[in-house]
A and B are shown apart, each in its own frame.
Chain A
Amino acid sequence: MKTIKTSLLTKIAYGVMSASLSLNVLAASDGKVKIGVLADMGGTYADICGKGCVTATEMAIEDFGGEVLGKKIELVSADSQLKPDIASSIARKWVESEDVDTIGGLVSSAVSGAVSKVNLDNKKITLISGSASNSFTTDACNAYNVHWTYNVEAMANGTVKPMVESGKKNWFFITADYSFGHSLESVATTVITEKGGKVVGGVRAPLGTTDFSSYVLQAQASGADVVALANAGNDTVNALKAASEFGLTDQMDIAGLLVFTQNSQAMDPSVAAGMRLTTGFYWDMDDQARQWSARFEERHGGIPSMIHAGIYSATMHYLNSVKAVGTDESEAVIKHMKQNKPNDFFARNAELRGDGRMVHDMLYVEIKKASERKNKNDIYTILKIIPANEAYAPMLPQCDFS
């Protein structure tokens, strides 16, 4: 009883004192690894990185052996609701008062940006697997960002370049109106103009738009060769639905700049077949991928998206580095992560660069027609493997933290 009282008193004294002295309280390394996963449990991206992201992280921890540095690895997860304020306050609570060492998952650039800022203040590693914006390794780069899986450059390079090269010169954009959409549009625009094409117009649709009819009409009136959908998830599915309803698909080509496996699966093959896109992973790419995907499917009830595979790979690489350096202290761990190349069923020809960008081989695929599909999971034909160094833009010197 007495000890409780004194400890409470010291705590109070500490609280009052620190107020006037303004000490910096940063949770020091405690030797226990705790991983936080922030996902979208019920929103637009729930199928792409919702409970599946937690499952994939659990699998990584189990496959690793469940403990590191002699202690059990802990996992906490929460729903970001795709809102930066909610994500930021959960992240803050985790790293400041619950000793979380790294936060992964992170779908939606708005969420990742907010969490990355909190982690930078607290010197914790951000394992971004779900976001597309390239800002985490350019404008908003910092020493604690690790960006796995894919980004907008890889998507634009992979999907836009071959189309412009084949003579589709005039482009119209339907863009999701937030940072991810903007950066996807601007990166794609650069690729288009470099290759001699032209952007003839564009509209910005709010995230979660359900009726794309007026945007589709604008696209129709623009006289473009290609309508690029610079959005993701259900926005892409809904835009494509409106495009086919208003007969746009018969007049122009449609380029989905970011289409996940789950979306391709959900789209009506009569509408989507023949569409070409870029992805970081496909479950049926080879034996190693099939093996892991089968295990994932058994637990999750669906085939993995590239984000699911990516978060597994990122977590594994993180844990391996913690084990190798013998501490969960961020600087040492991230240094080791960057010095050693990840290599697993997901990470091919891969490297974690000094700016935190994980580059790896990407796939250029085409959506199969209904008649070509052997089962409901059989959706892509792989056209080509895009080598890592072609897929991603080179590192900016000011973002090299190696």
Chain B
Amino acid sequence: MTTIFGINLFALFGQLLVGLINGSFYALLSLGLAIIFGLLKIINFAQGALYMLGAFCALLALKYLGINYWYALILVPIAVGIVGILMERFLIRPIANEDHLYSLLLTFGLALIIQGAFTHAFGSSGLSYSIPEELKGGIRLPFMYLPNYRAWIIVASIITCVGTWWMIEKTRLGAYLRAGTENPKLMQAFGINVPLLVTLTFGFGVALAGFAGVMAAPVYSVSPDMGSNILIVVFAIVVIGGMGSIGGAIITGLGMGIIEGLTKYFYPEASNTIIFLVMVVVLLLKPAGLFGKEA
């Protein structure tokens, strides 16, 4: 009894699960974007390139330094975060007082440079990174064979997302952060180093992209354009969730992954488009996004 009303349930569940896995990446990446945008009002077009950088760092660290997957999972986000901090300090801060559009254009340029440099160095054909020994194999569920690594992606990404959300919304540090971006002068007067806070926030948002990159390395082919392909989808997700809403980015990311999975089952031709269609509908009904505050 695997079909109901002509729907092959096994196949459907399989697609939903794959959707959830993709959704985990969407959630991680849109979370980083939402933090950077929500707190700093910067659209970071380089987020995709930094995600790619994370994947490459993991690959190169294994090849040349013998750093395995588990260490990479911690070290690579730190390294990528440092790149982000340097970017913010030396490139974005000088134009912080200009129109926000300039930071978008600047990061767009940076994305081109990073992607171009990796294409030049490694070609765009993609390299492979093998799944760590501990996570090889899989579980045979009644409706599909679930590779262990894919299950790990879902778990790790949900933990990271919820942890981040909690830190920003519920802790004192998060409160400083929100206050510091809301009213920098006042916070400065209270003796809080706001510019440092901004730099660290940017670094953290970018580190999330690096983390997603390491997670992705074993399942997707590590290639210079892996970031630009996913970035536009993630942008749409951030718009749907309500730009700057951190919880919204997480829920929408996972939700869109699932919706994409459903579409792949019922009407595969539209699976690339569905997210953008949802976006248009959301914008028509609720211009500020599902979880956004009216600007």
Contacts and interface: CB of A to CB of B under 8 A. Distances in A.
Interface residues of B, number: 35
A211 B11 contact: no
Given A42-B120, A210-B229, 10 more contacts: A44-B126, A46-B123, A47-B123, A50-B123, A211-B220, A217-B11, A221-B11, A241-B221, A246-B144, A246-B147
B221 A238 contact: yes
B124 A247 contact: no
Contacts of B109: none
Contacts of B226: 210
Q: Which of A43, A45, A47, A210 gathers most chain B CB within 10 Å?
A: A210
Nearest to B136: A245
B219 interface: yes
29 contacts: A42-B125, A43-B125, A44-B124, A45-B125, A46-B123, A46-B124, A47-B125, A50-B123, A210-B126, A210-B220, A210-B226, A211-B219, A213-B21, A213-B219, A214-B15, A214-B18, A214-B19, A217-B14, A220-B145, A221-B8, A221-B11, A233-B125, A234-B125, A238-B126, A241-B221, A245-B138, A246-B138, A246-B144, A246-B145
B234 to A, nearest CB: 15
Contacts of A43: 123-125
Interface string A219-244: 01100000000000110011001000
Contacts of A241: 128, 221
B123 A234 contact: no
A273 interface: no
Contacts of B8: 221
Interface of A: 42-47, 50, 203, 206, 208, 210-211, 213-214, 217-218, 220-221, 233-234, 237-238, 241, 245-247
B18 A217 contact: yes
A42 B123 contact: yes
Contact of B11 (A47, A208, A218, A233): A218
B126 A247 contact: no
Contacts of A208: 225
A211 B22 contact: yes
Contact of A42 (B14, B119, B147): B119
A233 B271 CA distance: 24
B261 interface: yes
Contacts of B219: 211, 213, 245
Nearest to A242: B219
Nearest to A206: B272
* Residue of B119, B150, B226, B268 most packed against chain A (CB within 10 A): B268
Contacts of B220: 210-211
A221 B124 contact: no
Contacts of A217: 11, 14-15, 18, 144
